């Protein structure tokens, strides 16, 4: 992208610098003039290192999030704090977590830490987007949602009756190609009517990829006509704070606890984020209020989908990008697609070669799946009195636009399974495993003929832990039934397919545990190879046994040279006779003292 200077850019220079530090890539509105595009575009491609180096600059001065003990009334505590310290209240949280956010002095925050009703206090941070006539967008075509029998993409308006939240900049309220049911404004901006209206465009574009209506105009989404809820947490410049995002998650969680059964949000898309980490304990160790809120939402059955981020960041690192690094969300990386087809034969685009990893996508074991992130069309917010000519736009690149493909896929799974919403974290984990595991046809491996080139811009020297996530692929998936709530969530057994030789696991166990060793045993449905990947962190499984290439169904591998009295996380890996590899979910054991 070229460096372009304009008066409009100078007026928002501070915002653009912050956005550049997080790899934001704005989209192009094709309905605008070339001059407008030049003014909208700026120097928004960052150096990958700038994101990590400037993390403390994202802290918001004199703005804090207070997480209270669960049995405390947040309104009462907020009122007491307001009276005692003269603070300005920003949000009160009652569903996703118990607490409040305020603007006030560091001295007030320090004093509140001594309150026995306070669990912890976190300084607020800035949050950023991850965007870097009838029309079938190339991304929808590439994942073959148009061939999915549940989506029924055929130009006839038959809507998918599931509620989806777009936690973003809002959704343009009069966009005719979107089925908007309502929303909430958690941002600091109050200029829009209705308050959840999109004044920036990003949320409207994300919503269109997830669920634009299948009719004779505009574009179509993965889950056509899905019920959309505009959860506006970012302002007209595409920026906001963690406290705003928590307000949005709180709203989403509230739909699963109120008495209105028609507004229950099943899936929430989060194409945004900030610098943070995953403590593997829902934020209770490192004092992360957003992580705690997301865990509460997942505990109520909300499937959370997050963009991986555009920073070439290893999500397994101690300090990385959240919510993408949280283990409770489905994390989506991006590939470039310029022609809506596999094979890498499409033209070179601004995002690079066709069918390569792209969009500066973050990587690591936290990434669950990939989807197209560049060059597709989606719905626009640039309408006059609800008239959008055209009512779609062409986007540039960003994992922001990969995530809603997967959000739509989760909706298709829920619909195909019978419309049963998850009600607890175990069922959400089940759905996540179905979407990212190879057995059920919701994705293909990068090495599949319908896959992609994993190399892209990466190399093994600079990115030694780079993984190759499967690619979303939707022509004919299976939808196994949800297990009962509060149940264990191993990879479920797929419906048998004649001639299928996909590897599935059972009876994964850690035995013979000593201070320095453990034996991992498991069984597979077909003769397969044996290997165990392991490490001392769920997000950094960086060790591996040698692969035993003998094809067996009863497997046993011994881990040695372990640390005593340490928690270890592991997954088993097996390949069948044709080389198709499967990995289990992560399990854990602790060595003896």
Query: What CATH topology corresponds to 129-472?
Result: Rossmann fold (3.40.50)
**Residue 291 is inside which H or E element, if any?**
helix 289-299
Residue 168 among the catalytic residues: yes
- Choice among 58, 124, 141, 168 that is catalytic: 168
Nearest CA among 300, 328, 279 for reference residue 94? 300
pTM for this structure? 0.70
Fold (topology level) of 505-590:
Immunoglobulin-like (2.60.40)
Class of domain 56-123: alpha beta
Whose CA is closest to 236, among 210, 271, 270, 203? 203
Within 10 A of 201 (CB to CB), how many other CB atoms are there?
Answer: 25
The pLDDT value given to residue 376 = 80
pLDDT in tens, the chain (593 residues): 333 333 333 333 333 333 333 333 333 333 333 322 222 222 222 223 333 345 566 889 999 999 999 999 999 999 999 999 999 999 999 999 999 999 999 999 999 999 999 999 999 998 877 654 456 788 888 888 988 999 988 888 889 999 999 999 999 998 889 999 999 999 999 999 999 999 888 999 999 999 999 987 788 999 999 999 999 999 998 899 999 999 999 999 999 999 998 999 999 999 999 988 888 889 888 889 999 999 999 999 999 999 999 878 788 777 789 999 999 999 999 988 888 888 888 887 777 788 887 777 888 888 999 999 887 888 887 655 444 444 455 555 789 999 999 999 999 999 999 999 999 999 999 999 999 988 899 999 888 889 887 665 444 444 444 568 999 999 999 999 999 887 544 333 333 333 335 688 888 888 999 999 999 999 988 899 999 999 987 666 889 999 999 999 999 999 999 999 888 888 899 988 877 788 887 788 889 98
Task: Measure the CA angle with vertex 272, ends 270 and 276; round to 5°.
Answer: 110
CATH 3.30.70.80 maps onto the chain at 56-123
Measure the CA–CA gap between 576 and 501, rounded to whole angstroms.
Answer: 7
Q: pLDDT value at position 492?
A: 37
311 catalytic per annotation? no
What pLDDT shows up at residue 392? Answer: 52
The catalytic position among 95, 177, 189, 202 is 202
Strand segments, DSSP code E, in 490-547 are: 505-511, 518-535, 543-544
Catalytic residue list contains 338: no
Return the pLDDT at 311.
79
Task: Write out the residue limits of the CATH 3.40.50.200 domain(s) in the chain.
Answer: 129-472
Question: What is the C-alpha separation between 375 and 534, in angstroms, rounded?
Answer: 38
Active site residue: 317, 361, 397, 400, which one? 400
Q: What is the pLDDT of residue 17?
A: 31
Which residue spans of the chain are classified as CATH 2.60.40.10? Answer: 505-590
The CA R_g of the chain, rounded to the nearest whole Å, is 23
* Beta strand ranges found along 350-390 (DSSP E): 369-372, 377-379
Peptide bond just before 194 cis, omega within 30 deg: yes
Q: What are the tens digits of pLDDT across the range 318-374?
A: 778 999 999 999 999 998 888 888 888 888 777 778 888 777 788 888 899 999 988
Q: What is the helix (H) or strand (E) element at residue 249, kind and residue range?
A: helix 242-255
Strands 227-232 and 265-270: unpaired
Report the alpha-carbon distance of residue 225 to residue 157 in Å, rounded: 8
Decide: residue 26, CB within 10 A, 0-12 exposed, 13-18 middle, 19+ buried. Answer: buried
């Amino acid at each position: 992208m070229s460096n372009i200077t304009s008066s409009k850019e100078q007026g928002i220079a501070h915002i653009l610098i912050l956005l550049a530090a997080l790899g934001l890539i704005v989209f192009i509105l094709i309905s605008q003039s070339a001059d407008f595009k030049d003014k909208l575009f700026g120097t928004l491609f960052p150096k990958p290192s700038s994101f990590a180096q400037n993390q403390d600059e994202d802290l918001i001065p004199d703005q804090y999030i207070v997480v209270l003990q669960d049995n405390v009334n947040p309104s009462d505590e907020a009122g007491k704090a307001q009276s005692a310290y003269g603070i300005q209240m920003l949000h009160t949280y009652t569903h996703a977590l118990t607490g409040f956010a305020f603007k006030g002095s560091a001295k007030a925050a320090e004093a509140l830490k001594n309150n026995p009703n306070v669990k912890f206090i976190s300084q607020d941070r800035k949050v950023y987007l991850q965007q870097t006539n009838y029309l079938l967008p190339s991304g929808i075509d590439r994942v073959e949602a148009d061939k999915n029998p549940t989506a029924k993409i055929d130009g006839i308006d038959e809507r998918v009756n599931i509620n989806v939240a777009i936690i973003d900049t809002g959704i343009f309220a009069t966009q005719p190609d979107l089925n908007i049911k309502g929303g909430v404004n958690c941002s600091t901006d109050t200029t829009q009517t209705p308050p959840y209206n999109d004044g920036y465009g990003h949320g409207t574009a994300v919503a269109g990829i997830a669920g634009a209506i299948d009719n004779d105009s505009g574009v179509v989404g993965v889950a056509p006509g899905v019920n959309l809820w505009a959860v506006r947490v970012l302002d007209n410049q595409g920026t906001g704070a963690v406290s705003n995002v928590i307000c949005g998650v709180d709203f989403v969680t509230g739909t699963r606890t109120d008495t209105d059964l028609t507004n229950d949000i099943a899936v929430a898309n989060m194409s945004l984020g900030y610098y943070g980490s995953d403590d593997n304990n829902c934020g209770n160790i490192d004092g992360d209020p957003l992580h705690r809120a997301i865990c509460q939402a997942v505990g109520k059955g909300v499937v959370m989908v997050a963009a991986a981020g555009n920073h070439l960041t290893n999500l397994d690192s101690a300090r990385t990008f959240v919510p993408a690094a949280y283990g409770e969300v489905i994390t989506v990386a991006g590939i470039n697609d310029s022609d809506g087809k596999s094979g890498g034969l499409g033209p070179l685009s601004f995002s690079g070669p066709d069918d390569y990893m792209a969009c500066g996508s973050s990587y690591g074991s936290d990434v669950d799946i990939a989807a197209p992130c560049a060059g597709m069309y989606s719905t626009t917010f640039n309408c006059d009195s609800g008239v959008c000519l055209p009512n779609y736009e062409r986007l540039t690149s960003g994992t922001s636009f990969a995530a809603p493909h997967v959000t739509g896929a989760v909706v298709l799974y829920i619909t195909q399974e019978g419309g049963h919403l998850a009600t607890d974290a175990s069922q959400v984990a089940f759905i996540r495993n179905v979407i990212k595991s190879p057995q059920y046809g919701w994705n293909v491996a990068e090495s599949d003929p319908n896959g992609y080139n994993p190399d892209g811009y990466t190399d093994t020297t600079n990115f030694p832990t780079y993984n190759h996530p499967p690619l979303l692929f939707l022509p004919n998936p299976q939808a196994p039934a949800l297990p009962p709530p509060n149940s264990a969530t191993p990879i479920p057994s797929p419906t048998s397919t004649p001639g299928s030789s996909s590897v599935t696991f059972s009876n994964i166990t850690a035995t013979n545990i000593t201070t320095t060793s453990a034996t991992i045993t498991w069984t597979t449905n077909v003769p397969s190879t044996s290997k165990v990947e392991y490490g001392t962190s769920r997000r950094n499984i960086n060790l591996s046994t040698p692969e035993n290439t003998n094809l067996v169904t009863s497997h046993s591998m011994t881990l040695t040279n372990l640390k005593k009295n340490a928690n270890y996380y592991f997954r088993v890996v097996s390949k069948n006779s044709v080389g198709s590899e499967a990995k289990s979910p992560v399990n854990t054991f602790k060595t003896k003292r």
